[in-house]
Structure 1
């Protein structure tokens, strides 16, 4: 599958877009980046410290990780204690995750994953396969995390403690609070790729490119990104909106954006396939945005 000459806007920062940038280039497309959201340390560090210490002491049967950013927040806590996340976690702990990117990130850090959905790779997919009555669960999340994952686990009999692991903010984060600044050195072969050579646009530049018809697709990798795309870039005209998954697509549609394609799986290859499907479809008239976006969002 190829997308020769297509100019594709990826709503991610350079350090989080390397794999997708490479995959798009491999398909013949020209990726451009539009950083919209960033991540800062949680405001309540005390609660996170207490939960993290309890985690290391074996107080939980399960750790549920729903994003790469959560792993980074936990890594920062381990680094504060002079160790690594894999060494901090007790051997008896079971680890569950939602998507393949988070699983690879954990395994690249030496943390084995015991449970992950293979069908619907989302919080709902994890709830579907969750074994009933499995004891205590620590669920570290973003400050704006959707409560449905917690509720679903509790409905399956789990005793869930949630804790805010990080804050989601407009890009760029405050340098003094940035989660990226607090990251320990990545292990060999698992490093970040801050300089991937892709052109980085501002929202004004991206809007001008869309208005001129010079962008063929825009990729949103989270519901938050969908909301910011609506706020900063709409109307999209002939630029096709591509969503990483169902929750992102649902958020976009609730905001009046026309979703041209949704990735079958939340991976770089899945997103590239979705971009190619979107570009192969006939242009559709964009929906008019609604007056107010939803109050809740997830990452």
Structure 2
């Protein structure tokens, strides 16, 4: 009997997979896909800029540093990058911004790995459903003070859910989500620690929207990975039809947005990691045989 993992890996051999992230953020997934015999392609759709209101962000971080908050909740690895950049500009580490008595909560293994690599202890993270809903399910009710830095387009669900559980939540815009590419001088440039980022530098083809559309129309793309609800919206705007190309969503919020847009979700990654995304792709292609 063939080993299941071998069968699954063969399902990706020869598949062309479009990753809708910038090249640096796509690299770990691209490296893993390449090791499974797939051909990764990159189409950057969204980028990140520093928040317009830096004064409010600085004020919130100053309050954090003097112990005004019981909890710091970081809902994305991009928010972690913002704080890394802020700390570096002041010649400090991220751990220097967070008092020892302030607890840290996060979502997703990538954020947790980065935080722990720079010396912060993560007190709370969802074990199974790695989303705002998963974090809220694990959150204990009580009158605590919470700092929640987020994207400018963040949904209100996490803030409202924490407030429902008795928390006094201070939200602040940490970064702007923009169409790729971000403006020179405004682009968020902080790099994640090398210890938690795949350092492979292999050449991954980067497509323009026109290239990607031509590939879709020619039927040469097997799957596209939507990394966020905003990426899903850009995919729906740019491509009138995905044809036979399967759409893989990273997480339930992205899958919900894909469905709302009238697109079909072929599979949803159970974890927002390269392994989780590859597992979702394998679940789609494992029984179809390899393309010729």
TM-score exceeds 0.5? yes
- Deviating beyond 6 angstroms after TM superposition, the runs of 4 or more aligned structure 1 residues are none
Gaps of 5+ in 2: 1-7
Which of residues 110, 120, 131 in structure 2 aligns to 1:122? 131
* Secondary structure class of the residue paired with 2:175: strand
- The DSSP-based 3-state class of the residue aligned with 1:47 is helix
Q: In the alignment, what sits opposite 1:75?
A: 84
Q: Distance in 2 between matches of 1:115 and 1:163?
A: 21
CA 1:110 to 1:196, structure 2 compared with 1: closer, same or farther past 3 Å?
Answer: farther
Q: Does 1:27 align with 2:36?
A: yes
Of 7, 11, 14, the residue aligned with 2:20 is 11
1:160-197, Cα deviation, whole Å (9 max, x unpaired): 000000000000100110111xx2x6545245759442
Match of 2:285 in 1: 279
Aligned equivalents of 1:139, 1:192: Cα separation in 2? 28
Query: What is the CA distance between 1:23 and its match in structure 2?
Result: 1.5
Structure 1 residue aligned with 2:227: 221
The separation in 1 between residues aligned to 2:63 and 2:86, in whole angstroms, is: 12
Matched residue pairs, number? 279
Deviations 1:115-136 (A, max 9, x none): 0001111000000010111510
What does the per-residue CA deviation read over 1:222-241, in whole Å, with 9 as the maximum and x for residues that have no partner? 01111111111230000000
Query: Which residue, 85, 94, 99 being the options, matches 2:108?
Result: 99
Q: Which ranges of structure 1 fall in alignment gaps of 5 or more residues?
A: 283-299
- The superposition leaves residues 183-224 of structure 1 with CA deviations (integer Å, 9 ceiling, x where unpaired) of 2x6545245759442110011100100110100000011011
How far apart are the structure 2 equivalents of 1:279 and 1:234? 24
Match of 1:55 among 61, 64, 74: 64
Q: How far did residue 47 of structure 1 move? A: 0.2
1:246 CA displacement: 1.0
TM-score by length of 2: 0.92
Give the distance between the partners of 2:209 and 2:249, measured in 1 at CA.
Answer: 19
- Helix, strand or coil for the counterpart of 2:124? coil
CA displacement at 1:95 relative to structure 2: 0.2
d(CA) in 1 for partners of 2:130, 2:197:
24
> What's the CA shift for 1:48?
0.2
Q: Secondary structure at the match of 2:266?
A: strand
Contact kept in structure 2, 1:33 and 1:199, CA below 8 Å = yes
Give me the CA root mean square deviation. 1.6
Q: How does 1:217-296 map to 2 (within 5 A)?
A: 217-280=223-286
Matches within 5 A, 1:87-236: 87-180=96-189, 183=190, 187-190=193-196, 195-236=201-242
